[in-house]
Amino acid sequence: MKIFLSCLFLILTASFAAAQGDPPPRPQNQPAQIQVTRIDSTYAVAPGGLSGTLTSGQAADVLLSGIDFDRAGGGLLFNHPRSLASDGRRMVLSDGNNNRILIWNSLPTGNEPPDLVLGQPDFDSNAPGTDLDQLNWVGQVSIADDILVAADTNNARLLIWTSFPTRSGQPADRVIDGIQWPWGVWTDGTRLVATATGGRAIHVWNTLPTRDDQPADFTISGGGIGTPRTLTSDGIRLIVGDHNAVGDQSGDYVWNEFPTGSDDLYDFFMSDPNDPHFSWMQGDFLPDGGLMMLGRSLSLWERFPTAAEDRPDLVIDGYRFRGGDGNAAIFAGGRVYVLMYNGNSIVGYNALPTSANQQPDFAVGSPDIRTNTLDTHHFITNPVPATDGAHLFVTSDFDRRLYVYRALPNQSGAYPDVVYDLPFAPWDSDLHEGTLVLGGGTTLAVWKTLPLDGELPDTTYNGGIGSVRFQEVRGVAWDGVRLYVADARANRVYGWDGLPAPDAEPSVTLPVERPARLSSDGVRLAVTQTDAQTILVYGDLAAPPAAVGGMNRMNRPYDVLLTEDGGLMVADTNNNRVLIWHSVDSASSGAPADAILGGNQPPQIGRDTLYWASGLAFDGSYLWVGEFKFSNRLLRFSVG
């Protein structure tokens, strides 16, 4: 199982990193220039000067970009909800990062709390687990005829409640194990369909399983099906979203008639008609025979589209539906409910919208239709930390932000003191002797004094330096002597002596295939090669580097640190671990790591477990670890 999961997450994260990691287009509400927000934040400050080492298996002691360990924040604070379903009377939401399912016994008409929670004992907990009353990053849910089905994604299984749950924490009645990373599930109370995203397949049961692990009656695969995701069906037609479909497209496969065998391939493929580059659509059938699908916008067809060229009759694009990896729109009780994965809420219309600019009437999981609780609680997507032992700086490429902590927090859930909204997507950062450097896309920003109170950068390099034109900046390092920049698309690492003038030429150019995050201690330079599963360590820049890791030893590493005491740390992302060597030479010689944090499969949140560790910062006392994509945690590990 561990080998399978390791390979599975290697394949899938490669595609997800390309989708989310590439600097996204600037959203409508993002500034063209830097904007600064000061937060009235108070928190306990961590002492410095600790002594000791990090040890294998040790637990984290502080969690930022979240509430706390095993704390969700209540029933109305979601964390990247993934799915929404209704039987016309009740509503069910899968709250992915909180490892839970929320149930409203009557359809909400405002910000009303749920009545029940599954996967957790109460509304405050969010720990993952493998028992029948636990979940790990739950995906799509479906209800029909008092039957509830859930795709328990990271547990590689489907859970079935054969009668509708009546109490919180109620365990599932039946389990179908061994589904390769299931995202989507659908039932009409008689049939069952599930997507195996990791298996590039769609499984169909002609009758609802009556025993645990009952195999599907048939499976559909091939024909360009890549990583199938969520399902939309009325029992007559079937729509399957796919993020990596034929020709590396994203969109939906459509069956005009419900498939009855493994040879029944789709009738046509449909991209989001409003943005063909958007991931995929998911929605609901309307009572008058129409179709409603959520992608970049909300699209309505008066009649079911039977070909790719059938355009929607109405597109609601005057409101920004902040979707992502959890799009959902359902029609229930005469209302429309739209789930927003990156908006962290549900917005609702009291009737089917009739105009393109129509605004939602209410929100669930937010005080209003404009507030994003990810922002108000400072949940950071893809946090990448930098620290000097006195201050903490956290960047996010997805949020396009820099978060500033003027001191090192010594308590979980602490808010930053200052937030910068940036006009570019920072992928890497470095901090050395009072100078902070951010880099991403085609931009670098440099503060020569630390930005603790909203100061703007002293220097910004837009597009390149000298004759070097940036294409895809994925790494920066500043050691006080030389500024290094990794350009993944150019397959080069450049080095400039000092902080260069805008027209300066690099003194060093290293050919490196798809270089990513960097680290320099002034003597050595370490380069992350995520795609090659390798860390390159240069001593003499004119000589070939030593290679650490490699295929079957690392799994898509995202970050590297050269420590001041001569050690090496690597965020071995898809192996959910941080590798720690006390000596760079030991790592370069192929010796095993001296300590390992995490190392669990599958990925999961916890004090001593990691979920795609991807960003590192270490000051000798505290190691900060940011998690990627499907977890927004920033964890602190203390030496001792």
- Quick one: 214 exposed, middle or buried, by C-beta within 10 A (0-12, 13-18, 19+)? middle
pLDDT 10s digits, 298-318? 999 999 999 999 999 999 999
Please list, in sequence order, all residues whose beta carbon lies within 8 angstroms of the beta carbon of residue 62, skipping any fewer than 6 positions away: 46, 409, 410, 411, 412, 635, 636
CATH for the stretch 84-369? 2.120.10.30
What percentage of residues in the chain have a pLDDT greater than 70?
95
Question: Do 512 and 501 meet the contact criterion of CB atoms below 8 Å apart?
Answer: no
253-259-261-263 Cα dihedral, nearest 10 degrees = -40
Tokens 């029933």 belong to 75
- Quick one: 338 exposed, middle or buried, by C-beta within 10 A (0-12, 13-18, 19+)? buried
The sign of the CA dihedral 296, 301, 305, 309 is negative
Give the pLDDT score at 31. Answer: 61
pLDDT tier, 327 (very low <50, low <70, confident <90, very high otherwise) = confident
d(C-alpha 286, C-alpha 298), whole Å? 13
Please list, in sequence order, all residues whose beta carbon lies within 8 angstroms of the beta carbon of residue 355, skipping any fewer than 6 positions away: 314, 316, 318
pLDDT 10s digits, 536-559? 999 999 999 999 999 999 999 999
| Among 420, 363, 377, CA closest to 395 | 420
pLDDT 10s digits, 100-156? 999 999 999 999 999 999 999 999 999 999 999 999 999 999 999 999 999 999 999
The token pair at 586 is: 């030991």
d(C-alpha 388, C-alpha 293), whole Å? 48
pLDDT tier, 32 (very low <50, low <70, confident <90, very high otherwise) = confident
d(C-alpha 69, C-alpha 101), whole Å? 19
Tokens 């029909």 belong to 144
Give the pLDDT score at 326. Answer: 85
pLDDT tier, 589 (very low <50, low <70, confident <90, very high otherwise) = very high
Mean pLDDT of 448-458: 97
Q: What does the mean pLDDT of the chain come to? A: 94
Question: Do 344 and 90 meet the contact criterion of CB atoms below 8 Å apart?
Answer: no
What distances in angstroms separate CA 318 from CA 29, 110, 183, 313, one per listed residue? 13, 21, 29, 15
The token pair at 421 is: 């909204």
Mean pLDDT of 248-256: 93
DSSP H/E element including 285? strand 282-285
The token pair at 378 is: 């400072």
d(C-alpha 187, C-alpha 231), whole Å? 10
Please list, in sequence order, all residues whose beta carbon lies within 8 angstroms of the beta carbon of residue 217, skipping any fewer than 6 positions away: 204, 205, 206, 207
What percentage of residues in the chain have a pLDDT greater than 90?
93
Greater pLDDT, 325 or 126: 126
Asked whether the predicted pLDDT for residue 178 surpasses 90, the reply is yes
Burial 413-448 (b: 16+ CB within 10 A, else e): bbbbbbbbbbbbbbbbbbbbeebbbbbbbbbbbbbe
Residues of the chain with CATH 2.120.10.30: 2-66+378-638, 84-369
What distances in angstroms separate CA 117 from CA 96, 166, 191, 425, one per listed residue? 13, 10, 25, 36
> Given the DSSP bridges, would you call strands 314-316 and 298-301 parallel, antiparallel or unpaired?
antiparallel
Q: Phi and psi of 318, rounded to 5°? A: -85, -5
Rg of the chain over Cα atoms, rounded to whole angstroms, equals: 24
Give the pLDDT score at 237. Answer: 98
Measured at the CA of 99, the angle between CA 132 and CA 557, to 5 degrees, comes to 115
pLDDT 10s digits, 594-611? 999 999 999 999 999 999
- Could you say which DSSP state residue 20 is in? I
The number of angstroms, rounded, from the C-alpha of 398 to the middle of its chain's C-alpha atoms is 9
Cis peptide before 602 (omega within 30 of 0): yes
Q: What share of the chain is helix, strand, coil (3-state, %, to 5)?
A: 5, 40, 55
CATH for the stretch 2-66+378-638? 2.120.10.30
Q: How many helices (H) and strands (E) does the chain have?
A: 3, 51
pLDDT tier, 199 (very low <50, low <70, confident <90, very high otherwise) = very high
Give the pLDDT score at 6. Answer: 44
Give the pLDDT score at 277. Answer: 87
What distances in angstroms separate CA 479 from CA 484, 497, 525, 573, one per listed residue? 9, 10, 10, 25
